[in-house]
Structure formats: C-alpha cells, structure tokens
Amino acid sequence: MDAGPSKICPHCIQLIAVDASVCPRCGFVQDDGESLREEKQRARWLKVVTLFYAADLVVCTIVNFNSHFYGLSWLFITESVLAALALIFTWIVWKEIKTLFQWKSFTLPKALVYGISAIVYGIAVNVIVKWLNNTIFDQDVYYYRSFRHLTYPKFSMIMLIAILPAIFEELAYRGVILQGLFKLADKKQAIFVAAFLFAIIHMSFISFFWLLPFAIWLGNVRLKENTIWYGVLIHFLFNLTACVFEFWELRIF
C-alpha cells in the first residue's frame, strides 16, 4: 500500500510523511525552510525596530532633560540627527518598505478628505491645548518666540515644526517601525504599539492625550492605503495648523 510522499527526518534519518510537522519516531520538530526564513526575518525586524527606537529615545531624552541643549540651534541639530537616523534605517530595510513610496494609490479626493480632517483635528487640539495651558499652567506657550529673531521666522518655524517632522517622523514610525511591527504582531496591535511609541518619544504628558489617537489614525491610514504619503500630508497639515494658529493669535500675518 502506497504510504504517500515522504521525507527524511534530519534528526533520526528516518522516513516520515512529507506534511508531518513533528517526527513520530523521535519527536523532532520539522522545519520546511520557509518557517526558518520567516523566523530569521522576524528576528531581524525585532533588532531593527529595537535599535532604531532606542537611538531615537536616547537622542530625545538627552535633548529634553538637559538644559545645555535648549534653544533653536539645538532644535535644528536634533531634527537633523533624527532625520539622519530615519534615513539610515530606511536604507537598511529599503527592499521591504520601498513600495510605501509609490504614488499609484494617491488620489486628489482622498487627499482632500484627509487634509481637511487633519486641519479640523489640528484646530480642535490647539483650542484644547490653549485652554489647558491657561487653566492649569496659567501661561501661553508660543513656539514663534524662538524664531522671531531670524530673518525668515515664519518660514523657519514652518520648516522645523511642520515640514521636517511630517516627512521624517512618518518615515520613521509609519515606515520603518510600523513595517517591522507588522512582522512581529497582529496588524491592529502593531498600529497601537507604534502609536504608543510615537506618543512617548515626544516626552510631553499634556500632549499624550492627542498624540496617541493621532498616531493610531496615521497607522490605520498607512495600513489602508499602503503608502506613507497620505500620512505625510496629514502630519504636515496638522502641524501647519498649529503654526498658523500661533500666527493668528499673535497677529503676525
């Protein structure tokens, strides 16, 4: 009677069924090669995500908790270092994430919907944050005050607050880190973890309440659209709204 296709157990060198996951003779777990490749890929992504986030966390911790690194010059240096880290790790995993840079799914109607939503959310957050700052801390906080001595203060503020973070934070957290977490966990869990990491890295307790849902939204957009460009647009318009909100309050249009 034909026993069907078989293979050799690498442990006891006995013939077993080709679809057997465990050798019935010695109990050795069979590996078809594909499982081993997937495990190596998961281990690689775990290393990439851990090293990348650790590097970001070290930079942000040093800058936020050391008074020597306060000021506009250090803000520019910090953004440059974080951008460089994002580019380095993007290069490391380029083959796995290059499809995220395609424009084929990018459409104007979707961009308008996402863009308007980002602006509305930005206005709501800025109104709430202003109320909290006035109610709890009895003060107004304006980023513009750090830029007003420059030749082009509004352009410089928009560049450092809106443009650079929109590109490089999306590249880092909805690009490299989220792609790695998709390999390590369920997609919804991965989106939440990436969002939590994103909120933590900003190191602002009062901002956590809006950063977490914002990052969850960006993660879901990234998953749905399979591109980072909608996220870049949302992130840019959200941060730009904060800049314009300050310009309007300070009457410096």
Task: With a cut of 70, say whether residue 1 has pLDDT above it.
Answer: no
C-alpha–C-alpha distance, residues 100 and 78, integer Å: 26
Residue bearing tokens 């203060």: 153
Average pLDDT (24-47) is 77
C-alpha–C-alpha distance, residues 61 and 185, integer Å: 27
Between 249 and 236, name the one with better pLDDT: 236
The pLDDT value given to residue 3: 55
**Is 192 in contact with 178 (CB distance < 8 Å)?**
no
Average pLDDT (224-245) is 96
Q: What would the pLDDT profile of 150-181 be if each residue is shown by its tens digit?
A: 999 999 999 999 999 999 999 999 999 999 99
The pLDDT value given to residue 197: 97
**pTM of the entire structure?**
0.85
Q: What would the pLDDT profile of 6-15 be if each residue is shown by its tens digit?
A: 777 776 777 8
Task: With a cut of 70, say whether residue 86 has pLDDT above it.
Answer: yes
Q: What would the pLDDT profile of 130-154 be if each residue is shown by its tens digit?
A: 888 788 766 777 888 889 889 999 9
Report the mean per-residue pLDDT for the chain.
89
The pLDDT value given to residue 120: 97
The tally of CA atoms less than 13 A away on the side-chain side of residue 239 is 20
The tally of CA atoms less than 13 A away on the side-chain side of residue 41 is 16
- Runs of H (alpha helix) within 136-207: 153-158, 164-169, 178-184, 187-201
Helix (H) or strand (E) holding 8: strand 6-8
Between 211 and 23, name the one with better pLDDT: 211
Bridge partner list, 22: 29
Bridge partner list, 29: 22
Task: With a cut of 70, say whether residue 95 has pLDDT above it.
Answer: yes
Task: With a cut of 70, say whether residue 4 has pLDDT above it.
Answer: no
Closest C-alpha among 213, 205, 220 to residue 238: 213
The Cβ of residue 175 has, within 10 Å, a number of other Cβ atoms equal to 23
Residue 204 has φ and ψ, to the nearest 5°, of: -140, 110
Split at pLDDT 50, 70, 90, the class of 31 is low
Average pLDDT (182-188) is 93
The pLDDT value given to residue 39: 81
